[in-house]
Chains A and B, each alone.
Chain A
């Protein structure tokens, strides 16, 4: 079979000692920068670009791709251990992962996150090899209309994340949408809510807000509770996931892999949505959804798998069509260009060694990352035993450096600190900050796509039902809404006249 030939060629390319070495180097660097909050794969790949000129194009792309998905593996480490999300996709990991760490199950959390990511990555690579070109065509069908419908679904998902009070979560979500409006509006070209400040013209960055709301506020809360030292001295139960953990995670990992794969392939926005949607789905499908947020491994395994699967899938439009799905892939595209490989639909025919080599190296890279990360787990877990008085200044230092490193801007540090203080007050008053992150990400995309769609349709809202994919998404939302109304009315006691 021709496909088998291609795969064999791919393995031949990526198993060459030099390419193996580059894959390892990429994964290692990726893991390291993933662990540091803020500094992300984008900046690292651009820093590595000049050094990559010395090596062959295939080797360079293998290494730089390794940095990208390696960073995803590493990013979950700080989320689980210290409640600091490195980027938007890691926020969901904080929810249950950190709670597991507080209960002494950090090892299980880290282990399941690594294994889940590996399984998801392997699944994604397998699917990529099989159906990459037709899948890319599917991704192209997502235009503004389809995006709007997807965002509506995503915003509805926000309601699934509610822990206690629906009203409070909705207030937070709306505030998130409000924050996303700050900056230059791309449709009209005017700036909104910037008060003349140049720093606000591009909006407030998401990473500083996430780091502040989760990481800094956690530190503030812990300092306040002087009994914190005892809480973290909880006995470490096990360094790796137990059999029970595996049983519980099997479903979430499989569902997350599939979900992440299909959402990650959509240019311009699927990735973050994947982890939130996976969390929401697992919560909805679980017997005891109210336990989510207290350290449920399903809430960790699903999103982590979705995340990693999405990352692998985001390479597909680049390698098959020459379109970047997000900023990191755009930098990779630049790297390919400088190495003399024109990204475009002809890559698969003109550079088959690159195409198949990179695909198969992703599988190898995932394996390498699991082997790299697993022995580190006991080391990371020991980190939790350090006295908190020594740990929290380091956490703060990481956050400060991390938030500066994103854009070399001190304004981001300010945003992070303000978010941290705001997050502290929010937690004291029982406002959950997760809906804010999701609404922030979705809000701007929703608004842009909606207005683009309305321009295209000449102002008619019917366009959302005329395009099949959009109609499907909206149909799902309507079905979900009807279901939940139905469920509520069933459980409501009939009014008994006094």
Chain B
């Protein structure tokens, strides 16, 4: 007697003693392995399933379904329970943009630090869409349990709501945790441009010579609106060509497809290397990294650029956070903000670390939104 029944392929029988015969195919390998172990109905089931050609009986189909249902329940079990303390499970840190941008890079520096303080993993999840407003809309609908926080640049809150009807109210739908760093916008030219100072550029623009081309990273973006205000107050005129993102603006400047363009601290490497020259800081204060570059006040322009070129990024949560959750989160964020890694990251990118919390942050955003709204009403003719 051959002992236990053994499975085969192609209809022939297969003996255990012939196990040294090399399996001709993957399937026979599995068949061999299984028959060497046992040949209980469950294993016969697996073998016949893989071999194919046999009709699945109702019983087997039901078994498979039950298996998957149990699997699904087991997988979802883990998230259902938790102790009452916050935090007792993973916190999601949403970024409203694709990886590679400022928001994402900083979230990936802050995330691990916050996680250290809170003792739970903090995972960064990119939820790009609609200039960051998709993530904000999803956040507004999330429960205020402190397990979902979002980092976003001010533009998502001050500019984007004017372009599209958004499903959130910036004044009331969020808990503003803290503003973490400032970004400065400036105007620059390629290194071999004939304009050595902003006055040269303005003089040229006011005259009847060839119209200059300005590159910014978006039509009616904060930078564009600020330059429109400049144009109104100085009488200088130029042609505006919108590009997609700061990298495209830098490329356009380096390739001489535009005369001047809007830049941020992201372009400081180019400035330091001498391929781009900054002419003006689009803000009422000078930039410490570039002490010789004049700001708006220095050339006699006193209009406010709140919400337009005074850019910043911060962290927010849904409204109605319980006090203990709010305090724990804020504390964790402060520690992360004070951490060596974040300080180094800010130094490397030249962004200014600032810490503005709660109500002050919220008021800043509301004021910025209002200012952008007014500017848009002036310059957007639709």
Inter-chain contacts of B109 with A (CB < 8 A)? 338
Q: Judge if B288 is at the interface, Cβ distance under 8 Å.
A: no
Which one of B130, B268, B348 lies within 8 Å of A340 (CB-CB)? B348
CB interface residues, A 302-342, toward B, < 8 Å: 317, 321-324, 327-328, 330-331, 333-334, 337-338, 340, 342
Which one of B100, B108, B268 lies within 8 Å of A50 (CB-CB)? B108
Assess the B240–A343 pair: CB atoms within 8 A.
no
A388 (CB) vs chain B CBs: closest residue = B52
20 sampled A-B residue pairs with Cβ under 8 A? A46-B126, A142-B255, A143-B257, A144-B241, A184-B131, A184-B163, A198-B134, A201-B130, A321-B254, A322-B270, A323-B247, A334-B99, A340-B348, A342-B268, A343-B269, A344-B275, A346-B272, A407-B129, A452-B243, A458-B239
From B240, B252, B345, residue with most partner A Cβ within 10 Å: B252
Assess the B108–A49 pair: CB atoms within 8 A.
yes
CB distance from B11 to the nearest CB of A (A): 16
Which one of A189, A389, A455, A458 lies within 8 Å of B52 (CB-CB)? A389
CB interface residues, B 107-157, toward A, < 8 Å: 108-109, 111-112, 124-131, 133-134, 137
Q: Judge if B87 is at the interface, Cβ distance under 8 Å.
A: no
Assembled-state Cα–Cα distance A190/B376 (Å) = 13
Assess the B254–A323 pair: CB atoms within 8 A.
yes
Assess the B270–A344 pair: CB atoms within 8 A.
yes
The interface size of chain A toward B, counting residues with CB under 8 Å, comes to: 62
**A-B pairs under 8 A by CB, number:** 172
Q: Judge if B197 is at the interface, Cβ distance under 8 Å.
A: no
Assess the A43–B220 pair: CB atoms within 8 A.
no
Assess the B239–A338 pair: CB atoms within 8 A.
no
Which range holds the interface residue count of chain B?
35 or more
B: residues with CB less than 8 A from A are 25-27, 49-52, 98-101, 104-105, 108-109, 111-112, 124-131, 133-134, 137, 163-167, 211, 213, 218-220, 239-244, 247-248, 250-252, 254-257, 268-270, 272-273, 275, 341, 344-345, 348-349, 380, 382
Inter-chain contacts of A471 with B (CB < 8 A)? none
Assess the A198–B137 pair: CB atoms within 8 A.
yes
Inter-chain contacts of A49 with B (CB < 8 A)? 105, 108
Inter-chain contacts of B127 with A (CB < 8 A)? 407-409
Assess the A456–B257 pair: CB atoms within 8 A.
yes
Q: Judge if A288 is at the interface, Cβ distance under 8 Å.
A: no
Assess the A50–B111 pair: CB atoms within 8 A.
yes
CB interface residues, A 151-209, toward B, < 8 Å: 184, 186-191, 194, 196, 198-199, 201-202
Q: Judge if A352 is at the interface, Cβ distance under 8 Å.
A: no
CB distance from B98 to the nearest CB of A (A): 6
A411 (CB) vs chain B CBs: closest residue = B129
Assess the A184–B130 pair: CB atoms within 8 A.
yes
With contacts A141-B255, A144-B241, A382-B25 known, is A201 near B250, CB below 8 A?
A: no
Assembled-state Cα–Cα distance A337/B244 (Å) = 21
A46 (CB) vs chain B CBs: closest residue = B99
CB distance from A376 to the nearest CB of B (A): 14
Inter-chain contacts of A130 with B (CB < 8 A)? none
CB distance from B70 to the nearest CB of A (A): 18
Assess the A323–B250 pair: CB atoms within 8 A.
yes
Assembled-state Cα–Cα distance A62/B114 (Å) = 28
From B130, B133, B268, residue with most partner A Cβ within 10 Å: B130
Assess the B247–A42 pair: CB atoms within 8 A.
no
A194 (CB) vs chain B CBs: closest residue = B164
Assess the A46–B242 pair: CB atoms within 8 A.
no
| Inter-chain pairs besides A186-B244, A188-B219, A382-B26, 15 sampled, C-beta below 8 Å | A42-B99, A42-B100, A43-B99, A46-B99, A143-B255, A186-B243, A198-B137, A202-B134, A323-B247, A323-B254, A327-B100, A340-B344, A342-B269, A342-B348, A407-B129
